[in-house]
Structure 1
Amino acid sequence: MPSASEPLSILMHPADNVAIVANDGGLPAGTTFPSGLTLREKVPQGHKVALIDLPAGSAVRRYDVPIGYATQDIAAGSWVHERLLRMPEARGLDDLPMATQCEPLPPLEGYTFEGYRNADGSVGTRNILAITQTVQCVAGVTAFAVERIRKELLPRYPNVDDVVALEHGYGCGVAIDAADAVVPIRTLRNISLNPNFGGEVMLVSLGCEKLQPERLMPPGTIPLVDERDANAGLDVVCLQDEQHVGFMSMVESIMSQAQRHLERLNARRRETVPASELVVGVQCGGSDAFSGVTANPAVGFCADLLVRAGASVMFSETTEVRDGVAQLTARAANPEVARAIVREMAWYDAYLQRGSVDRSANTSPGNKKGGLSNIVEKAMGSIVKSGSAPITGVLAPGEKLKQRGLTYAATPASDFICGTLQLAAGMNLHVFTTGRGTPYGLAEVPVIKVATRTDLARRWHDLMDVNAGKIADGAATIEQVGWELFRLMLDVASGRSKTWAEHWKLHNALVLFNPAPVT
């Protein structure tokens, strides 16, 4: 554990020619490191310092990857920031290594949690009634009904954790028969079937919308919870039905239908299940230069533990792993998986090109203030959340997970869209790393927040669940924080612990990814 006054830098690879300053508040000009390097100017915390003289045009290396090329001569000891770098071109999708580094990890046995077993074999970590909406038009009525359900009905059903409205922005302006219109439809369908909802599907419809209930939930979509429901059809409350006279008639109809689902959910009990039943989505937001040094490597180590235990892990954020595509295809379990990775990357490249942008549009002002110069550097730190296990599957946006192990779930990097799509894939536990800080949370699934820096964990002590900043402080190793996170996951999944987002009920909106035109 170094003293607070000792100048600290972090080097990610022996071949790197820059390191980041680790001290809180950064370091002033004239600071001399134990190596003898002296700062020529003040360098903020998390920002890069040149370890050697970097001539104009030379590669600036971090993670042993060229994150940019110097636009002018940069002397050793200088602050290296985005204005001094030209970003590399995106790696082509041809001639990639295909399934060349896919050694399986040794099994990890004996770990369990207390979960809710569903009729389809999946396991929930929470017991929630979710009310699906076919169109944004019904959101206000559903929200009003949900508040009454919470106050008047939920106290009668102590084994039910919550009732949530699956509100979204989908409406009739969408060209519903366009090629890509299937993405938001299957997303909403699969969210409704998330393991945390116990197979209880209830819909609120307006009546005149394009996305009719039968199109959202075709016959055979919903696994039977009770054989008596075999011929019951969809459970739909349609607000335009003639039986509804006035607003309260609509609300009371929703409440009446909800009560039947609450009764069945309340009869459920947790049971001991193997850790292999965890379906974990990993994501980062408000990233800084420490994300790829502390939190994301710890999550990657934990992801390997989960895969070794037979669980399912999803990593996503296409633009934030695009520059590491060669790493991903090399780790594919077989050439078919590698080709699927390339397919999703190519689809997203084309999607961005239609909007006249590229992957560089991803990096936010906060990312840069936190020391990330561009998307290449950000990607190298983001990709380590996936750990080192072979990638066994690939999901297109909105698809449902079908296999265990490590899966690349292709999503935009937007926190809310990514979280929504991972919900659709079937995650029952979410891990979210942050360096700048974000109060992100989801009502549908527990979200474990991991801070990249001790200062953030100290200031946001009642928002962050794990402090990975201990790694940079020298107080813990990546492995120790990874194991801490793994054990916390089992406790949260079992209901023994609540996350801070659950405690404060901090819930962000679901945001459907809709690449189809809006008419």
Structure 2
Amino acid sequence: MNRKIIQITDVDNVAIVVNPEGLAKGESINDVLSAAEAVPQGHKVALCGLVLGQEIIRYGEVIGYALKDIPEGAWIQESMVRLPTPPDLKSLPIATRPAPVQGPLEGYTFEGYRNPDGSVGTRNILAISTSVQCVAGMTNLIVEKVKKDLLPLYPYVDDVVALNHAYGCGVAINAPDAVIPIRTLQNMAKNPNFGGEVMVIGLGCEKLLPERVLSDSPTQVLQILDAAAHVPPSARPTLSLQDESLVGFEAMISEIMEMAKYHLERLNTRRRETCPVSELVLGVQCGGSDAFSGVTANPAVGFASDLIVRAGGSVMFSEVTEVRDAIHLLSPRVINQEVGQALLDQMQWYDDYLNRGLADRSANPSPGNKKGGLSNVVEKALGSVVKSGSSQIVDVLGPGEKLRRKGLNFAATPASDFVCGTLQFASGMNVQIFTTGRGTPYGLAEVPVIKVATNSKLATRWFDLIDVDAGRIATGEATIESLGWELFHLVLDVASGRTEVAADRLGLHNDLVLFNPAPVT
């Protein structure tokens, strides 16, 4: 199919250019339209003449207003588009759209690791968490030593990872917003890919005690301390480097390695077993987006998300700033008024957060997004939210909160790839799909990340970093439905350990980044 442009809806007065080489000046686009100037791939071309102040429409929605007269066939650049005001949070319809008529999807399973708490992991990983950034050098060293000296002795353990972060001391730990980084750390340790076998290394003088990384309940913290007094040091879940029994560096290393052996032996007894898709927790995210994101990869991910939900599983979509301008499309889809209000509350909290920082929504998109054809955050949001598919939204999670209900969840996070990934991981995801149009080596050591290219040009150039080419939708070689099913089956294969994602094969794993809106002292 020799498709030159893509127009999403009949009411759109702009379309994006499909050709990898773009449109040349004077090139015929269709029977009635020619390019008034050269237009790069992914960028918008005016389908009709636009006058000053006229609505610019894409996805059937207003993405801005013309800042000058724009002739038919012209390249619509960012400087020509005035950003519209965001939807008013006080006048949105809530829970007005009935649930889509989609029957349950039965008979699909994956091979996962069942945990004592009822969750299921897609990996069998030893996690070494920290209570304070000061010990990150030690945990990094330990991870390398465990991988070299111990991991080969435990063939049923997939990996060992350090959950390092920049928190624990020099922070206003009792400030109201400190609940966000603290619960994130606590819920990271509970991720199902760790099987409950988490070590916590502390320093000894930090504000965030190592035991508090495992529980925020004072009673449970006391129980952890009491239990530790009655078991060998290697069986204790926490260790502080300032403990007076540790004399010298080698003593510290020896003690931590003995702890690692204890946990590795327990993890090594775990085996994969057949589990229903209802135990999957899929996180969906985009980064390095372009104008194809909302046309190819994200709609296909949305289709796959609906399949996961129909099969009884859970899906999390996020990125508040890339949802805010499309919130009017989501509030009707919530399951009830309570969930709808929670969704609007998260939008309002983030509006206030940005206002306190004297920032506004025009800070998004990034320069790379704009090079990929996205003019503003409205256009970006409209393409971003389609990752959520069409299912009803059953719950809203605050940043770092743990998943409570199966189905489609909105997990509130910033749009930053690394912060969003960290928070989804803390909320309990055990596999992630990440779409990109510009390209990014993003990956997580703790959770397998399936990378999907929005355009075939990127997929070809990054042939060994990308797992799926969704650009085939733009060229007509695939449909949203066919690619959605392809992603669904790939998720099951990756979750089962049958398929290794590119980021894991290449060892591309980003640091975890906490979201801390509380003061630093």
TM range (shorter): over 0.9
Q: State the Cα deviation string for residues 62-121 of structure 1 (Å, max 9, x = none).
A: 011110100000010000011001100111101111101131432100000000000000
Partners in 2 of 1:213 and 1:337 — Cα distance? 34
Partner of 1:156: 153
Partner of 2:253: 251
In the alignment, is residue 54 of structure 1 matched against residue 54 of structure 2? no
Partners in 1 of 2:389 and 2:253 — Cα distance? 47
Partner of 1:498: 500
In the alignment, is residue 93 of structure 1 matched against residue 95 of structure 2? no
Partner of 2:62: 66
In the alignment, is residue 489 of structure 1 matched against residue 486 of structure 2? no
Partners in 2 of 1:465 and 1:174 — Cα distance? 40
Residue aligned with 1:151, SS = helix
In the alignment, is residue 33 of structure 1 matched against residue 35 of structure 2? no
What TM-score, normalized by structure 1, do the two folds share? 0.97
Aligned partner of 1:176 among 169, 173, 178: 173
Partners in 2 of 1:271 and 1:327 — Cα distance? 39
Correspondences of 1:83-232 after superposition (within 5 Å): 83-104=79-100, 105-218=102-215
Aligned partner of 1:420 among 419, 422, 432: 422
| Structure 1 residues not aligned, in runs of 5+ | none
Partners in 2 of 1:253 and 1:323 — Cα distance? 52
Is 1:102–1:389's contact at 8 Å kept on the other side of the alignment? no
Partner of 2:282: 280
| Structure 2 residues not aligned, in runs of 5+ | none
> Shift of residue 171 of structure 1?
3.8
Partners in 2 of 1:102 and 1:363 — Cα distance? 32
Q: Give the partner amino acid of 1:22.
A: V
Is 1:39–1:78's contact at 8 Å kept on the other side of the alignment? yes
Is 2:211–2:238's contact at 8 Å kept on the other side of the alignment? no
> Shift of residue 177 of structure 1?
0.7
Partner of 1:12: 8
> Shift of residue 436 of structure 1?
0.3
Q: Give the partner amino acid of 2:308.
A: L
Residue aligned with 2:259, SS = helix
Partners in 2 of 1:28 and 1:345 — Cα distance? 42
Is 2:189–2:213's contact at 8 Å kept on the other side of the alignment? no
Q: Give the partner amino acid of 2:351.
A: D
Q: Give the partner amino acid of 2:174.
A: D
Q: Does the C-alpha gap of structure 1 residues 230 and 33 become closer, same or farther in structure 2, counting only changes over 3 Å?
A: farther
> Shift of residue 276 of structure 1?
1.1
Is 2:169–2:206's contact at 8 Å kept on the other side of the alignment? yes
Between 1:248-257 and 1:180-189, the stretch displaced more is 248-257
In the alignment, is residue 331 of structure 1 matched against residue 317 of structure 2? no
Is 1:204–1:237's contact at 8 Å kept on the other side of the alignment? yes
Q: Does the C-alpha gap of structure 1 residues 229 and 406 become closer, same or farther in structure 2, counting only changes over 3 Å?
A: farther
Residue aligned with 1:107, SS = coil
Q: State the Cα deviation string for residues 331-352 of structure 1 (Å, max 9, x = none).
A: 0001111000001000000000
Residue aligned with 1:186, SS = helix
Residue aligned with 1:293, SS = coil
Partners in 2 of 1:97 and 1:194 — Cα distance? 35
Partner of 1:461: 463
Partners in 2 of 1:128 and 1:362 — Cα distance? 35
In the alignment, is residue 406 of structure 1 matched against residue 402 of structure 2? no
Between 1:259-268 and 1:28-37, the stretch displaced more is 28-37
Q: Does the C-alpha gap of structure 1 residues 303 and 159 become closer, same or farther in structure 2, counting only changes over 3 Å?
A: same
Partners in 1 of 2:327 and 2:220 — Cα distance? 34
Partners in 2 of 1:508 and 1:102 — Cα distance? 40
Residue aligned with 1:403, SS = coil
Partner of 1:433: 435
Partners in 1 of 2:98 and 2:8 — Cα distance? 23
Partners in 2 of 1:234 and 1:59 — Cα distance? 63
Is 1:142–1:251's contact at 8 Å kept on the other side of the alignment? no
Residue aligned with 2:112, SS = strand
Is 2:111–2:496's contact at 8 Å kept on the other side of the alignment? yes
Identity value in percent = 64
Is 2:300–2:387's contact at 8 Å kept on the other side of the alignment? yes
Correspondences of 1:365-376 after superposition (within 5 Å): 365-376=367-378
Between 1:356-365 and 1:385-394, the stretch displaced more is 356-365
> Shift of residue 234 of structure 1?
5.5
> Shift of residue 216 of structure 1?
2.6
Is 2:431–2:495's contact at 8 Å kept on the other side of the alignment? yes
> Shift of residue 230 of structure 1?
11
Between 1:445-454 and 1:163-172, the stretch displaced more is 163-172
Residue aligned with 1:431, SS = strand
> Shift of residue 229 of structure 1?
8.5
Is 1:144–1:251's contact at 8 Å kept on the other side of the alignment? no
Q: Give the partner amino acid of 1:481.
A: L
Is 1:112–1:490's contact at 8 Å kept on the other side of the alignment? yes
What TM-score, normalized by structure 2, do the two folds share? 0.96
Q: Give the partner amino acid of 1:132.
A: S
Residue aligned with 2:284, SS = strand
Is 1:448–1:465's contact at 8 Å kept on the other side of the alignment? yes
How many aligned residue pairs are there? Answer: 512
> Shift of residue 304 of structure 1?
0.3
Partners in 2 of 1:155 and 1:340 — Cα distance? 47
Q: State the Cα deviation string for residues 202-261 of structure 1 (Å, max 9, x = none).
A: 110000000012333235769x9xxx9897595111100112222121112111101000
Is 1:145–1:252's contact at 8 Å kept on the other side of the alignment? no
Partners in 1 of 2:40 and 2:170 — Cα distance? 47
Coordinate RMSD, CA, aligned? 1.6
Partner of 1:76: 72
Q: Give the partner amino acid of 1:40.
A: A
Q: Does the C-alpha gap of structure 1 residues 234 and 343 become closer, same or farther in structure 2, counting only changes over 3 Å?
A: farther
